[in-house]
Every structure is written in structure tokens, then in C-alpha cells.
Structure 1
Amino acid sequence: MDRDYVYLIACKGETKTYVKIGLTSSIQRRLSNIQTGCPHPIAHAFVVRSEYREEVKGLEKLLHKLLEPARLRAEWYEGTTSFFETLDAVLSRINAAGFTYEDLLEMPDFVGSEFEIMMHRHDFEFLRVQLPIRRGRDPLEDARSACGADIAGILLRGA
């Protein structure tokens, strides 16, 4: 079965944590490409998977919109306490269908079917990818479930 993923990949600089949020159908290839272009080692990787591309597209778009204040460039964000609190709040609301039509009206430039998908209840599975990934192995084979608070906490602590 084909899967699409929203990924959160974090790397630690000397004084800051950087987080990249994006969409892929191959997490192993994406991790490799990001590491090649990133001056810091990837410390953590998380994915949210779905067999429906529209769901992960909506989630990625929503994360980019709501995390905009921490955006550094393109899909890279500075991992501040505020960023992680917002990330936790968004991920915690997703599976509970916590977004409403009123939320849509408050984000006028975020319209369309992707947002409407976020207004429904989901069973997204948040997974922590075990790094480093061994060559020839499925990167999600040893992945562990993680809730939104776990993801935010791990990234904030840099554990």
C-alpha cells in the first residue's frame, strides 16, 4: 500500500534547534537528501503517515500556516519554546477533529479541500524514526508511536 508522509526533521546547531516540515512518499530518500544539504547532523525524525495524500497535504499546509511566526526560510523553522508549544497544540487537535469552520474563517489565505480534511476526525499515527537508518532497512520498521506532546517535548529537550 502506498503511503504519504508529513515529516518533521530536527537538527541541532550550536545554539539553536532547526526543524524542517515537509511532505514525501519516501522518508528514507528524503532524510538522505536533507542530510546532504544540512550543515548539522539530523538528530530526530518524525513522520505522520496516511494512505490518503490529501490528508497529509492538509496537515503539512496547516502546520506551515500555524507555525509561520517561527519560519526561517522555506520549510525550515527555529525550534523555540513557542514553536514547540504551537506544534504540540496543533498535533493534539488533529486526531480529535479540533479544527472548525470558524478556524477556517480566521485563516483566509488557507482555504480549500486540504483544510476541510483537517476539520474531520483522524487516526493519524505519529511515529518517531529511529536514527541512524541502516542501509537497506525500512526506516519505519523500528519506528515508535509518539503523540504531539512527545514530539514537541523530545525536540525541545533535544533528547
Structure 2
Amino acid sequence: MASIAVCPGSFDPVTLGHLDIIKRGSKVFDKVIVAVLNNRSKQPLFTVEERIELLRETTRDIPNVEVDNFNGLLIDYVKEKNASAIIKGLRAVSDFEYELQMASINRKLDENVETFFMMTNNKYSYLSSSIVKEIAKYDAPVGDLVPDVVEEALKKKYIK
């Protein structure tokens, strides 16, 4: 049986840190589904469709990665996709505290689904989508933080 993992997130926008976790996860699992959360409580810069397209563009060279989106509970989506694992990247202890809560409730909802935490590459430990958006908003360079296609998309969003 193929091992399938879901790597969820808002990816608004996808960063080099996200891609590092996705690539590393793709070496561990037969298939990784990068799942864009449509979180109605947030006001994203990019639409779900734009985020999916950016992810597809930036992961096209990873054959066992699929990009999708979901609403609702992550655990329901994981079950729908017949996945047995969730991949989460961790930058700091503060990430771990929140993600431990999420992993615990997902485990309570379905004990057959495991959460795998991957420590971020040290060179991305400070990186977040929020930081990237803040820097890009002021027309500062973000080329060493995001893939080229994402940098171009950010420039288009912030052209005044």
C-alpha cells in the first residue's frame, strides 16, 4: 500500500521554507498532497486558486506531489484522501506548542493518522508568509525567500 501524506497550510504565499518541507516529505512518502486551507476567518493576499497555481508551478519538478485545497476539518480531508499521515514544518518552540495541540486533537479524532513534524532548515527558521508579505509590500527584495514565480506574483499584487 502506498504511503500518502497531507501537507496542509494556507501558503499565502508559498515560501522556500514551505518548499523545503514539501521536498523533504516527498522523499519519505510515496505521495504528498499539498493541501491549501480555505480559511474563511483570514483575509489572504492570494485567492485559493492563485495559491494552488503557485504551488503547482513551484512543485512541478517533484513527481509525487499533488496540490489540492480543502475546507473544514483537516482530519476529514486526510481520511477522504486515504492518507495516513500529516506533515507539519516547525520553525520554533512556539510552533510546536500549537502544532502539538492540533496533532493531539487529530489523533483523538482518528487514531490511525500520524502527524510528522519536520524541523525547518536553519536558513528558513525566521521565515513566514506574513514576513514575506510585509517585506514585499514595501517593494523590498524577497527573491531569497520565495521562488521566482512567487516574487513576480507578489510584485503584481503590490503594484500601486
Is TM more than 0.5 here?
Answer: no
Indicate the TM-score class for this superposition, using the shorter chain for normalisation.
Answer: under 0.3
Q: TM-score by structure 2 length?
A: 0.27
Which structure has greater strand proportion? 1
Q: TM-score by structure 1 length?
A: 0.27
Which structure has greater helix proportion? 2
